[in-house]
């Protein structure tokens, strides 16, 4: 009996290993971002862009687990310093994000298939800007640098182009800490192996 259970367990494990991690993939992501409202630092950003890459595996033909690294850059709209809003602000804010995502693919009999999911990770923010105090010609400078926990929710539509190459359009809601959030709209290219 023990031998039969062992042989059955061995065959079942082999079956699961073939079914569970069927596809390995790599991809690139990029697009535009809406303004990022950084309440803690009293900085508001304008629209910007993001670029990144991802690597992952498909599990049980509908679940994807992936690691993602991305860079985001946005210009500054306004800076508040010591209770004053600075005029004629110039500068930028950069974000490096390292995320672990879980995505669910819908197996639809259509050309375009939807997916959704989310992720958690870590972000490093840095930036600098300068502006002029109201009713004063003196310039003042502001710097920011911080590390924080981040999470995101995403939804998208994917299309199989050819030979294991997928193109996707996706929306991401990206949140840092309790208060800072922005919206991303972008494209992704994914190569399945």
Segment 11-29, tens digit of pLDDT:
555 555 555 556 899 999 9
pLDDT of residue 13: 57
Q: Residue 146: helix, strand or coil by DSSP? A: strand
Question: Which of 37, 147, 131 lies closest to 81 in space, CA to CA?
Answer: 131
Burial of residue 143, with CB atoms counted within 10 A of its CB: 0-12 exposed, 13-18 middle, 19 or more buried: exposed
Other beta carbons less than 10 A from residue 191's beta carbon: 13
pLDDT at 153: 97
Residue 166 tokens read as: 């997928």
pLDDT on residue 74: 87
Its sign, for the CA torsion 155, 58, 56, 160, is: negative
Q: Spell out, as residue ranges, where the chain has pLDDT lower than 70.
A: 1-22, 36-43, 80-84, 86-87, 134-138, 178-179
Side-chain half-sphere exposure of 101, counting CA atoms within 13 A:
29
Cα(first)–Cα(last) distance of the chain, in Å? Answer: 40
pLDDT for res 1:
56
Model pLDDT, residue 5: 57
What is the per-residue pLDDT for 99? 95
Distance of CA 150 to the CA centre of its chain: 9
Query: What does the alpha-carbon distance between residue 119 and residue 157 come to, in Å, rounded to a whole number?
Result: 17
pLDDT given at position 16: 53
- What pLDDT sits at residue 32? 95
Identify the burial level of 4 via C-beta atoms within 10 angstroms of its C-beta, where 0-12 means exposed, 13-18 middle and 19 or more buried: exposed
Spell out the domains of the chain, with CATH numbers in brackets. Answer: 22-79+94-124+145-192 (2.40.160.20)
């Amino acid at each position: 009996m023990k031998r039969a259970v062992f042989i059955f367990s061995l065959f079942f494990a082999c079956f699961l290993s073939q079914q569970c991690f069927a596809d390995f993939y790599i991809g690139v992501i990029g697009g535009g971002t809406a303004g990022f409202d950084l309440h803690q630092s009293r900085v508001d950003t304008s629209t910007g862009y993001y670029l990144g890459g991802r690597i992952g595996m498909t599990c049980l033909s509908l679940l994807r687990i992936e690691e993602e690294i991305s860079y985001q850059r946005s210009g500054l709209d306004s800076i508040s310093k010591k209770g004053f809003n600075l005029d004629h602000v110039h500068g930028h804010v950069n974000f490096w994000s390292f995320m672990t995502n879980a995505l669910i693919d819908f197996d639809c009999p259509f050309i375009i298939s939807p997916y959704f999911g989310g992720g958690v990770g870590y972000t490093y923010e840095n930036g600098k800007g300068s502006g002029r105090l109201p009713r004063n010609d003196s310039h003042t400078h502001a710097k920011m640098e911080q590390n924080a926990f981040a999470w995101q929710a995403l939804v998208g539509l994917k299309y199989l182009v050819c030979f294991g190459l997928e193109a996707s359009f996706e929306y991401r809601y990206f949140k840092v800490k309790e208060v800072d959030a922005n919206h991303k709209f972008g494209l992704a290219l994914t190569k399945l192996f």
